[in-house]
Homo-oligomer: A and B are copies of this chain.
Amino acid sequence: MTDAPPPSSSPSPSSSPSPSSSSPKAPDASRRSERSRRAILDAALELVGENGFAKLTIEAIAARAGVGKQTIYRWWPSKAAVLFEACVPEGIDPASIELPDTGDIAADLKTVLRATVDDLNNERLDAPTRALTAETANDPELGRALTEKVLEPQLQSYVRRLRAAQEAGQVDPDIDLRIALELLVGPLFHRWQTRTLPLTHAYADTVVDLTLRGLTPRP
C-alpha cells in the first residue's frame, strides 16, 4: 500500500528537451495519468488472483481498469511487466531487506528463512511470484529486472550478515559467502519450485543447522 514510487521513468525531468531524435516513441511521462496507472496495476492483481496468470489478458485488464488498451501498451511492454510492477511495491517489505543481527548467526538465519517460508506459503504472494518466475524463461528482460530489483538486493543482505558472522569468527574466513548464501537459499527455493515436499519452518531450521555445520571454522 506504499504510494508507488514513480517507476524510475523520467530519470532527469529536464535533461534532453528533444526526445524526438533516437526512438520514434517516447511518450511524455510528465503527462501520465497516475489514476490510470493505479487502476491498471490493481486490475492486474485482481485478475491474476481470480483466474491465474495464464488467463490474464491485456484486454481484460483494460476493461477491468476502465482504460483504453493503448494506455497499457504505451507504458508497459508485456503483461508480465505490468504484473511485475503491481507486485514489487507490496512484495518487498523495506524492513525485511536487512537481516537481523543479534550476534547469533543461526538464530538470525532461521528467523529470516522462516519468514521466507511464510511468504512462499502465502497464497496472495505465491501465485504472482510463480507466474513471474516462470515468465522469466521466455522473457530474459523480465528476468533481469526481477533479479536486479528484487532478488539480488535480498541476496546481498544475506552476504552482509554472513560477513559479520565471519568477522565474529562464527564462519570460516576462507569461505566464499556468495556460495554460502546459495547453500541456504537454494534448498528452500528448490522445494518451493518443485513442490516435492511441504515448505515448513522445521525444514528451514534444519537447512540452517546442517549448512552452518559446514561453514563453521575448522580447528
Contact of A133 among B137, B185, B215 (CB under 8 A): B137
* Interface-centre pick from A190, A195, A207 (highest chain B CB count, 10 A): A190
Interface status of A197 (Cβ within 8 A of chain B)? yes
A–B pairs, 19, beta carbons within 8 Å: A52-B138, A53-B137, A130-B137, A131-B137, A134-B135, A175-B210, A176-B206, A179-B203, A179-B206, A179-B207, A183-B186, A183-B210, A186-B186, A186-B188, A189-B193, A210-B215, A212-B214, A213-B214, A213-B218
Given A130-B137, A134-B135, A137-B133: A143 and B195 within 8 A (CB)?
yes
Residues 153-207 of A at the B interface (beta carbon under 8 Å): 155, 175-176, 178-180, 182-183, 185-191, 193-197, 203, 206-207
Interface status of A136 (Cβ within 8 A of chain B)? yes
Inter-chain contact A183/B182, CB cutoff 8 Å: no
Interface status of A63 (Cβ within 8 A of chain B)? no
Interface status of A151 (Cβ within 8 A of chain B)? yes
Inter-chain contact B182/A191, CB cutoff 8 Å: yes
Interface size class of A (residues with CB under 8 A): 35 or more
Interface status of A211 (Cβ within 8 A of chain B)? yes
